[in-house]
Structure 1
Amino acid sequence: MKPPAKRITSADVARAAGVSQTTVSFVLNDKPGQRIPADTRRRVLEAARQLNYRVRGSARTLAAGRSNVVLLALSGMPIGPSVSRFIEHFGSSLATRGLTLVTHLVAPTARTLEDVSAAVDASAVIGLDPFDEPAAEALRQAGVDLVLAVGADPSPPQMEVGRLQARHLLDHGHRRIGYALPELPAFRSWAEERLRGVLEVCAERGVDPAVAQTMGLGGAQAARDIAAWRSQSVTGICAFNDEIAIAVLAGLRAHGLTAPDDLAVVGVDDIPVARLAAPPLTTVSFDLAAAGARLAEAVAAGLEGNGVELSMLAPDPELLVRGSA
């Protein structure tokens, strides 16, 4: 068996560059307040490159006073296209600020979030859902400098998503609308908030409350759900997301019906296949790139001890009108 390769250390870099280990630390950790001659800095960086040396996280933490790791906690949420795009934009924006994103799927049988944060030496822990105070305190006791829950703001955009859907249908003459709830419990809190927005608009417009029912993704169930809505004179559906909206379209086809002539459908998320649906899906979209950049900026500010305005972090919803409604 081949013996393990010797790990390159800062002492090796110092010898190659002809400087002290302290100088290597100052250069590679970009220590502020240190005047290192340009030629010395160049020699250190070139030696580190030739030796393929990487600063270890523990050393960087010691030099900076904290790590550059940001831990994103996903509380049992299925990672669909929108969540994936948001994580990608968030991680990229953090990287431009010298921060590294690590994601963790929270589950009842998984390690506790505070154990994970300690294991990766996270300076910040971010949640898309609120943390209760005992959980937040446990994270702080584990050494986390910033605990931030995007969903902790009392006015998240979920209600506005439902409002946009309902207004569009009512503006187009529908007076009896339905709401397609998801089967997955992980989506339930968001779905209930979106439904509240739909019901609020129904009350404002003086029409009957939306008829809500759980919508499965199976073809036979979708057909039964369509029949149930039509028996209650529903002519427009607000779906929790695009996958469910596409299931509604499939249920319509099972009855020989079409959207929007027989039943108008509005989804949420603008997933890549939404525009390829038959007909193309009217949906609510989010500027996930801007949302990821705003959250990264807030994390960087919070780690510097500045305040964070949670209401500025939520992505703004926008209705995209296509053929289904």
Structure 2
Amino acid sequence: MPETTVKRVTAADVARSLGLSRATVGFVLNETPGQTIPETTRARVLAEAKRLGYRTNAAARALASGRSRIILLVLPDWPLDYSMRSNLDEASLALDRAGYSLVTMTPHPGGQAQPLWETLRPDVVIGMAPFEADRLKEIRNSGVQHIIPPTPAGEAGSYDDLGYAEGPMLQVEHLLQRGRRRLALATSPDPRVADLVAQRRARAAKTLEERAGSSFLREAAITESNAGETVAQWMAADIDGVVAYNDDIAALVLGAALRADISIPGSLAIIGHDDTPIARLLVPALSSVRLDTAGLGRYLADLALSAATGSAPPAAGPETDAHLVIRETS
């Protein structure tokens, strides 16, 4: 059987069908700015394009309109964990509803790939974390018109704190309310999250000092290989409560404690952070802190859309309220 080729419907086909000029149809289909096309004509063009099965040529549309309708989200070199995936899912959904595509990239130290802000010509480049000054200059020099945040890390206008400070505070306060006074801090050894670990450690330590006038008696980066030995040492030091960096680290502590026949929460209370699905699936179920990570995704999408369309930016910061979820480990 001979091969059948389906001809792509073009703007010229739409113009011919309507008896309009190719220029007029092109202005409508490419959303060319600065053109005064009557609304009735615009509606006819769009309806006929849909009837004929016209598909926009993205490259031509971007060239004509000056907009690619692509939002590039630059991610730090963090693990793609449950919270991050929730952020990205919500941001992608919000942008898709507005007619924009979300593309993500993670620059790696020493990486040789050409940055996507040079190849995609995105309408907006937005960082999950503030850009360093050199990286900000590099993006700006590539021709990107809108960069969020527009200032380097640590300067006014950047967002060094997206509202997640309450989580470690709630962890410490909960254990203190449970009568636990000899607390240990379980952190992550992953160098990619060293900054996040430091932020949560500082907030937790500050809360412990303010509420109880004390400090963490022990601290360790927990791995599968050292969890058992570390927990044994903590129990020998009469540790009665553990604040964990996240639920994965808390699960390692919990597993080591159960294998050592340590009563949970009788002898040792444990609380995680992020309220990931594993927290509900563990036996005993893990107490944790739930964050509205989807709220951050919507906030990032709103920021990007405000820059791309020239509309007003979000009036308030991200909805990142932290909520204590008490289960069986505390």
Q: TM-score normalised by the shorter chain: which range applies?
A: 0.7 to 0.9
Answer yes or no: is the 8 Å Cα contact 1:155–1:311 preserved in 2: no
Partner of 2:256: 251
**Rounded Cα–Cα distance in structure 1 between residues aligned with 2:162 and 2:47:** 49
User: Residues 207-253 of structure 1, C-alpha deviation per residue, up to 9 Å, x if partnerless?
Assistant: 2335221011x2x5321121122122211111111111111111111
Instruction: Work out whether 1:122 is the aligned partner of 2:127.
Output: no
What is the letter of the counterpart of residue 135 of structure 1? R
Partner of 1:11: 12
**Structure 1 residues 143, 310: closer, same or farther in 2, change over 3 A?**
farther
Answer yes or no: is the 8 Å Cα contact 1:74–1:128 preserved in 2: yes
Query: TM-score, structure 2 length as denominator?
Result: 0.86
Answer yes or no: is the 8 Å Cα contact 1:27–1:36 preserved in 2: no
Unaligned runs of 5+ in 1: none
SS of the residue corresponding to residue 322 of structure 1 reads coil
Which of 189, 200, 203 aligns to 2:195? It is 189
Q: Which moved more, 1:201-210 or 1:261-270?
A: 201-210
What is the letter of the counterpart of residue 249 of structure 1? L
Which of 150, 166, 169 aligns to 2:172? It is 166
Instruction: Work out whether 1:36 is the aligned partner of 2:38.
Output: yes
Q: CA deviation at 1:206?
A: 0.7
Q: CA deviation at 1:306?
A: 6.3
Partner of 1:211: 218
Answer yes or no: is the 8 Å Cα contact 2:299–2:317 preserved in 1: yes
Answer yes or no: is the 8 Å Cα contact 2:302–2:313 preserved in 1: no
SS of the residue corresponding to residue 106 of structure 2 reads strand
Q: CA deviation at 1:176?
A: 1.3
Unaligned runs of 5+ in 2: none
Map 1:106-185 → 2, pairs under 5 A: 106-111=107-112, 115-149=115-149, 152-185=158-191
What is the letter of the counterpart of residue 75 of structure 1? P
Answer yes or no: is the 8 Å Cα contact 1:156–1:314 preserved in 2: no
Partner of 1:283: 288
User: Residues 108-145 of structure 1, C-alpha deviation per residue, up to 9 Å, x if partnerless?
Assistant: 354467x3112111121122222111211111111212
**Rounded Cα–Cα distance in structure 2 between residues aligned with 1:190 and 1:310:** 26
**Structure 1 residues 37, 170: closer, same or farther in 2, change over 3 A?**
closer
Q: CA deviation at 1:274?
A: 1.4
Superposition CA RMSD, Å: 2.8
Query: Aligned residues: percent identity?
Result: 31
**Structure 1 residues 61, 173: closer, same or farther in 2, change over 3 A?**
same
Partner of 1:201: 207
Specify which structure has the higher proportion of helix. Answer: 1
**Rounded Cα–Cα distance in structure 2 between residues aligned with 1:123 and 1:30:** 15
Map 1:218-229 → 2, pairs under 5 A: 218=224, 220-229=225-234
Q: Which moved more, 1:81-90 or 1:287-296?
A: 287-296
What is the letter of the counterpart of residue 261 of structure 2? G
**Structure 1 residues 134, 4: closer, same or farther in 2, change over 3 A?**
farther
Partner of 1:22: 23
User: Residues 295-315 of structure 1, C-alpha deviation per residue, up to 9 Å, x if partnerless?
Assistant: 211222233456757971362
SS of the residue corresponding to residue 288 of structure 2 reads strand
**Rounded Cα–Cα distance in structure 2 between residues aligned with 1:42 and 1:188:** 54
Q: CA deviation at 1:50?
A: 4.6
Q: CA deviation at 1:267?
A: 0.9
**Rounded Cα–Cα distance in structure 2 between residues aligned with 1:149 and 1:260:** 43
Q: Which moved more, 1:311-320 or 1:198-207?
A: 311-320
Q: CA deviation at 1:164?
A: 1.4
**Rounded Cα–Cα distance in structure 1 between residues aligned with 2:23 and 2:263:** 72
User: Residues 151-191 of structure 1, C-alpha deviation per residue, up to 9 Å, x if partnerless?
Assistant: 84244434332111111111211111111111211111101
Partner of 2:95: 94
Instruction: Work out whether 1:85 is the aligned partner of 2:86.
Output: yes
Answer yes or no: is the 8 Å Cα contact 2:164–2:321 preserved in 1: no
What is the letter of the counterpart of residue 123 of structure 1? D
SS of the residue corresponding to residue 75 of structure 1 reads coil
**Rounded Cα–Cα distance in structure 2 between residues aligned with 1:149 and 1:112:** 23
Answer yes or no: is the 8 Å Cα contact 1:269–1:285 preserved in 2: yes
**Structure 1 residues 176, 149: closer, same or farther in 2, change over 3 A?**
farther
Answer yes or no: is the 8 Å Cα contact 1:249–1:258 preserved in 2: no
